[in-house]
Amino acid sequence: MGFGLIKVVGKKMEFIQMNELMLKKYDDHYLKLKVIFERTIELIDTYNPDEIALEAPFFGKNVQSMLKLGRAQGVAMAAGLSREIPVTEYAPKKIKMAITGKGTSSKEQVAMMLKSLLNLKELPKNLDATDGLAAAVCHFYNSGTKVGGKNYTGWAAFVKQNPKKIG
C-alpha cells in the first residue's frame, strides 16, 4: 500500500514524502489491516494533514482481491475519520486523468509525470508509492485550488501555458 504527502503553500504544491507499507511480510490479513490503521494514524499524528485522498476501490475479476483491497481502504479511511479528517476518494481513471491527462495511463507514465511535476530526483522501484502520491496530487487539482493563480480549461491548456514545468 503506497502513500504520498504533499504540502500546499499558497497555490502551489510541495512534495513531502512518499513510501509504501511493506505488508507482504505479514501472513495474517487482519494483522495487515492493523498495520495499515496504525501506520496511517502515525502519519496523521506526525504530519497533521487537513485532508486525505484515497484511490477508490475498482472492480476487478478477482472478488477476493477486491474484498481485501476494499477492507484496506476502509481501514485507512477509518484512521482518518477517527481524527476527524475529511476523506475523499478518486477513481483510478480520474487520478490518472488528473496527472497525465489520460485515464488509461500506465503506472510508469503516472510516475514519470509526478517526477516532473514535483521535481523529484528519483522514483521508487515499486510504484505503489507513486500511486499514493498521485491520489494526493489529484486531490490538489480537484479541490478548487488554482495552479499558479491561473485557471486552466484542461491538461492541454496547462501544458501549453507551462512548457518549462513539463520535462
Question: Which residues are annotated as part of the binding site for Mg(2+)?
Answer: 55, 128
Task: Identify the band that residue 147 occupies on the pLDDT scale cut at 50, 70 and 90.
Answer: very low
- Strand 2-9 and strand 12-20: pairing? antiparallel
pLDDT for residue 150 is more than 50: no
Q: Which domain holds residue 21?
A: 2-165
Q: How many percent of the chain have pLDDT more than 90?
A: 70
CATH number, domain containing residue 109: 3.30.420.10
pLDDT of residue 56: 87
Kindly state the average pLDDT of the residues 138-157.
62
Domains contained in the chain, number: 1
108: its cell numbers: 510508469
pLDDT at 148 (0 to 100): 40
d(CA 158, CA 164): 11
Annotated binding site, which residues?
55, 128
Q: Which residues are catalytic?
A: 55, 128
